[in-house]
């Protein structure tokens, strides 16, 4: 039972807080000690150094393991918070399809440890500029087409991006972005408007052909390798979902934006290649572009909620810096669809004043 703060003098309480923090740190370090022991004893690696590197938006941690002749990546995924089985199955399926993913050298799924090849530190995001972007996006589109043709996942079935999952994602927007981040009390009109808009968005989302979706296919999950090729990370949440979803993640990237004319040109590149590969059939380009923009609305509504949750719940405030770009994407997308005009007006009237004060 935790002590009652009112029963402790201030000095005593501060000492208690420090002790509690130390206890939490010891628990974290215990995982690292166990990981290091696994690398040394089970994997038979001579570990010269082990350093935590930037991770993703989950509870997984990644460490660069320096050996005498190379470096590798160790993943620490606590089993009470993360399931590593999908990562393993999807990595195998993607690799079999020719997608460049880290090789799993050793695994201990009981404890949540994986040893992977090291793709280095060069995020695609850092390599993108006006001169390089066309070449890199051509590569990323080719890699995406391989992902979309994956159908067999050893011992695993991809979850379906169904109405229930869509509703869960959309609910992040009022729960975390509106109520908790912007501190808005939702008026009856706004609640009703959200429900109506979400029903329309969900119907349009589900109307698209569905296939394998990476789900976070963007410039922070693509690595520029030493030979110039692109490696793919953070694929463990793959689902069966809309054909345009990953293209939206890539071309309406929440961390970088490009002029609309460029985006439409890249969408056309994908469209032509997808037709040739048999991924798309019976849809003209204008309709596919509508699919693309429609899915963007759902994704960016979700991301506003996720970025707020990462800040408020998980102590990752850096994601707040990217919210203005995501909001711009959302407002632009909504203006392209007359059926969503009432939702756009509600945002203008009831959300943007609070948003502009916060951001």
The DSSP symbol for 227 reads: T
Q: Is residue 126 classed exposed, middle or buried when 0-12, 13-18 and 19+ CB atoms within 10 A define those classes? A: exposed
Q: Which among 64, 85, 117 is the end of a domain?
A: 117
- For 299, the domain range is 124-358
Q: How many domains does the chain have?
A: 2
**pLDDT higher for 53 or 296?**
296
* Cα angle 51, 238, 176; round to 5: 80
Q: Is residue 196 classed exposed, middle or buried when 0-12, 13-18 and 19+ CB atoms within 10 A define those classes? A: middle
The DSSP symbol for 187 reads: P
**Which among 98, 202, 104 is positioned nearest to 148, based on CA atoms?**
98
The pLDDT tens digits for 167-221 are 999 999 999 999 999 999 998 999 999 999 999 999 999 999 999 999 999 999 9
- Look up the CATH number of the domain holding residue 163: 3.90.1200.10
- CB-based contacts of 330: which residues, under 8 Å, 6+ apart? 297, 300, 301, 304
If you count them, how many residues does the chain have?
359
Residues 152 and 245 in one domain: yes
- Look up the CATH number of the domain holding residue 43: 3.30.200.20
Residues 206 and 164 in one domain: yes
Task: State residue 62 phi and psi, 5-degree precision.
Answer: -125, 140
Residue 97 CA to residue 89 CA, distance in Å, equals: 13
pLDDT at 60: 86
**Which among 72, 75, 51, 188 is positioned nearest to 119, based on CA atoms?**
72
Residues 107 and 136 in one domain: no
Residues 348 and 296 in one domain: yes
Q: Which among 60, 95, 117 is the end of a domain?
A: 117
Residues 275 and 322 in one domain: yes
Q: Quick one: average pLDDT of 222-230?
A: 96
The pLDDT tens digits for 228-281 are 999 999 999 999 999 999 999 999 999 999 999 999 999 999 999 999 999 999
Residues 34 and 98 in one domain: yes
């Amino acid at each position: 039972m935790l002590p009652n703060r009112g029963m402790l003098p201030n000095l005593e309480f501060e000492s208690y807080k420090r002790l509690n923090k130390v206890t939490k740190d010891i628990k974290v370090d215990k995982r690292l000690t166990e990981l290091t022991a696994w690398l040394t004893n089970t994997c038979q690696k001579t570990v010269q150094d082990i350093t935590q590197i930037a991770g993703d938006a989950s509870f997984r941690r990644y460490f660069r393991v320096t050996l005498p002749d190379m470096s590798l990546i160790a993943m620490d995924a606590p089993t009470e918070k993360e399931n590593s089985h999908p990562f393993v199955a999807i990595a195998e399926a993607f690799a079999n399809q020719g997608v460049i993913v880290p090789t799993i050298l050793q695994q201990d799924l009981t404890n949540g440890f994986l040893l992977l090849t090291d793709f280095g530190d060069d995020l695609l995001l850092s390599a993108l500029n006006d001169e390089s972007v066309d070449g890199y996006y051509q590569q990323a589109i080719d890699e995406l087409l391989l992902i979309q043709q994956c159908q067999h996942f050893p011992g695993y079935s991809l979850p379906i991006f169904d109405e229930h999952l869509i509703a869960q994602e959309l609910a992040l927007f009022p729960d975390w972005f509106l109520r908790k981040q912007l501190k808005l009390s939702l008026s009856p009109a706004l609640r009703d408007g959200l429900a109506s808009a979400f029903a329309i968005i969900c119907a349009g989302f589900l109307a698209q052909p569905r296939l394998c979706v990476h789900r976070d296919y963007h410039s922070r999950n693509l690595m520029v390798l030493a030979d110039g090729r692109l490696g793919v990370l953070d694929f463990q949440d793959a689902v069966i979902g809309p054909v345009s979803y990953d293209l939206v993640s890539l071309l309406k990237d929440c961390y970088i934006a490009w002029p609309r004319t460029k985006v439409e040109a890249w969408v056309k590149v994908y469209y032509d290649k997808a037709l040739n590969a048999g991924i798309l059939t019976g849809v003209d380009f204008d309709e596919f572009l509508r699919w693309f923009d429609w899915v963007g609305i759902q994704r960016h509504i979700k991301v506003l909620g996720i970025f707020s949750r990462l800040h408020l719940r998980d102590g990752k405030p850096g994601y707040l810096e990217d919210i203005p770009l995501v909001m711009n994407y959302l407002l632009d997308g909504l203006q392209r669809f007359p059926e969503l005009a009432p939702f756009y007006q509600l945002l203008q009237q009831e959300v943007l004043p609070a948003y502009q004060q916060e951001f």
